[in-house]
Chain A
């Protein structure tokens, strides 16, 4: 049981106040094993982002427990949560992932600086991860000089360079066309298979769902279905 990277029990998240409560999640039991690529699917408003935020230590449940990498997040202070996000979780958001005034390689370095890694090591690691992900030639460009797909791929590089136990991506392809989406998915596939990074993507994009090894369908804050895909679609 303990090789679960994420273990949610009876997770409930209610937004708003007592007068107009919004029940975004209503008692979700949910675990993720190491090395899995889970797609959180479901219509808009079904609670995908909320669940992702709880798992990533960005938010706290109203009820229930969230355990990540053996740590019960309910018990952590704000700064402990901040540390958990820095060291254990990699994030890729729909947009605004990068610091605009830093180049791609500096953006990747930045998170290692936050971790206290020295200048030469972090530059080396940043260059190597960009190279590995086929982004070596855009390292000196700033986000404004990159396409949406390139920005998302740099964000993935930033998210995995610290070797997190978990990579969380919330609608990572929402702003991308389908060709670029496929490139991004190929990248995620590579890091999932070659590096064994556990991935959770929240998406309502069928192409993304098709690449995951597991599909969890949310509806009205509850898990409606949870299926493993034996042979996820291979990248074109």
Chain B
């Protein structure tokens, strides 16, 4: 049987290949469907993957940075006294680790912010004015005035400034609880106003020089967080691992997805819902493949009947149909992949400017951390999966359809109605 099958392969392939072009329109339609689905899934997945990196990048650069080192309890229970042991010295060490782009210390306190007329609650961040720009883009969001020019200057969110109805050079009083339960108080001047476009941030944050906060709130030289920016997003896990190794007991290292779980959840929801769409598309195309093959078998019932009559085995005919179907798939998947990968490779260099696509996109993108210029990444999973899924569907379709062959009785197929 197998010797016989082997020797027969040559003309089988010829028959299969020529049959594809017996109805070129149908072949191109089906292969085109395969190409379209492959290209769309691969391309959209790559856009998604690229946008996630952009989102993570934007979200982490806003305030939290990629990695933070904290007191083990601080994340779950942010109390003043849960400070990072030897924070300042540690910052220096972390900044020197490989893969680390920058490190900066922060102390923080919830406080009441008051002017003569109004009061609002806010989060006071004590930052190292020189180091902070290495881990966050708050300094770049400067809208008015200057970024922390002097020890008693505050850098305040635009919405918070609006709420407090204050402008540059106005006075602002900060009242809170110090490290040991004492009263923490700061008298500041509005030195600068920032606008990140991210509402929560602009409404609740006020930055002051680290030393100022430490002094006013009894913190000595202690800090609550050391923020670490990795060289790139793909390095984050490695860098976090290195930090954990370097620190040992008494510290907790948190990555962006622990610091901002909502970002990761958002990404997961987006990914899963897109996957559903992709699978739906692939299933639709699989049905189109089944349909095409059904028509093929239906049209060629007499031919198959004749082949069975002259002694060709049903399995061999199935094999011929499989070759035909796989050739069709290969054409479609090849074209689809080539187009998608070509476009991705190009956009990967030039980027897609979302801001230019639609009016008002800037604000939306700031809220949801959609970068203004996005560089699609190569979604390896989709590149491998979508052609494979369609290939399996093609094989299954060809197999399922060729089961019809079992019902072809050569005698009936050849009987002419006259």
What residues make up the interface of A, taking CB atoms closer than 8 Å to B? 49, 53, 56, 58-59, 79, 82-87, 91, 93-97, 99-102, 106, 109-111, 113-119, 158, 174
| Contact A96 B306, beta carbon cutoff 8 Å | yes
| Contact B4 A116, beta carbon cutoff 8 Å | yes
* Residue B384 at the chain A interface, CB threshold 8 Å: no
| Contact A93 B311, beta carbon cutoff 8 Å | no
| Contact A114 B311, beta carbon cutoff 8 Å | yes
| Contact A109 B11, beta carbon cutoff 8 Å | yes
Tell me the residues in window 290-336 of chain B with beta carbons closer than 8 Å to chain A beta carbons.
302-303, 305-313, 316
Name 12 A/B residue pairs within 8 A (Cβ), A-sorted: A53-B411, A79-B313, A85-B310, A87-B311, A91-B310, A99-B303, A106-B14, A113-B7, A116-B7, A116-B8, A118-B7, A119-B10
Task: Please tell me the number of chain B residues within 8 Å of chain A, measured between CB atoms.
Answer: 31
| Contact A100 B414, beta carbon cutoff 8 Å | no
The closest CB in chain A to the CB of B306 belongs to A96
CA distance A33 to B371 in the complex (A): 88
The closest CB in chain A to the CB of B21 belongs to A101
B12: chain A residues within 8 A (beta carbon): 113
| Contact B309 A85, beta carbon cutoff 8 Å | yes
* Residue B18 at the chain A interface, CB threshold 8 Å: yes
What residues make up the interface of B, taking CB atoms closer than 8 Å to A? 3-4, 6-8, 10-12, 14-15, 18-19, 22, 302-303, 305-313, 316, 410-411, 414-416, 418
Given known contacts A83-B311, A101-B22, A93 and B7 CB-to-CB distance under 8 angstroms: no
CA distance A84 to B308 in the complex (A): 12
| Contact B15 A115, beta carbon cutoff 8 Å | no
| Contact B22 A85, beta carbon cutoff 8 Å | no
CA distance A110 to B18 in the complex (A): 14
CA distance A106 to B10 in the complex (A): 11
The smallest C-beta distance from B268 to any residue of chain A, in angstroms, reads 50
The smallest C-beta distance from A110 to any residue of chain B, in angstroms, reads 6
Most B C-beta atoms less than 10 A away, residue of A101, A117, A118: A101
Given known contacts A85-B309, A85-B311, A94-B416, A106 and B410 CB-to-CB distance under 8 angstroms: no
The closest CB in chain B to the CB of A115 belongs to B4
The closest CB in chain B to the CB of A88 belongs to B311
The smallest C-beta distance from A203 to any residue of chain B, in angstroms, reads 14
Contact of A116 among B3, B15, B309, B415 (CB under 8 A): B3
Top 9 nearest A-B pairs by Cβ distance? A86-B311, A101-B18, A85-B311, A116-B7, A96-B302, A116-B4, A113-B8, A113-B11, A82-B311
The smallest C-beta distance from A228 to any residue of chain B, in angstroms, reads 29
Apart from A101-B18, A116-B6, A174-B418, 12 more pairs, CB < 8 Å: A49-B415, A59-B411, A84-B311, A91-B309, A91-B310, A93-B414, A96-B305, A96-B414, A99-B306, A102-B15, A113-B10, A113-B11
The smallest C-beta distance from A218 to any residue of chain B, in angstroms, reads 17
The closest CB in chain A to the CB of B305 belongs to A96
| Contact A58 B411, beta carbon cutoff 8 Å | yes
| Contact A58 B410, beta carbon cutoff 8 Å | yes
Contact of B15 among A83, A95, A99 (CB under 8 A): A99
| Contact A110 B411, beta carbon cutoff 8 Å | no
The smallest C-beta distance from B328 to any residue of chain A, in angstroms, reads 15
The closest CB in chain A to the CB of B1 belongs to A79
The smallest C-beta distance from A80 to any residue of chain B, in angstroms, reads 11
| Contact A96 B303, beta carbon cutoff 8 Å | yes
B416: chain A residues within 8 A (beta carbon): 94-95, 174
A84: chain B residues within 8 A (beta carbon): 311
CA distance A116 to B19 in the complex (A): 22
Most A C-beta atoms less than 10 A away, residue of B4, B14, B309, B310: B310
CA distance A113 to B18 in the complex (A): 17
A115: chain B residues within 8 A (beta carbon): 4
A96: chain B residues within 8 A (beta carbon): 302-303, 305-306, 414
Contact of B11 among A56, A91, A106, A174 (CB under 8 A): A106
The smallest C-beta distance from A106 to any residue of chain B, in angstroms, reads 7
The smallest C-beta distance from A172 to any residue of chain B, in angstroms, reads 12
B311: chain A residues within 8 A (beta carbon): 82-87, 111, 114
CA distance A146 to B305 in the complex (A): 21
The smallest C-beta distance from B22 to any residue of chain A, in angstroms, reads 6
| Contact B7 A117, beta carbon cutoff 8 Å | yes
Given known contacts A114-B4, A116-B4, A118-B7, A97 and B22 CB-to-CB distance under 8 angstroms: no
The closest CB in chain B to the CB of A159 belongs to B310
B4: chain A residues within 8 A (beta carbon): 114-116
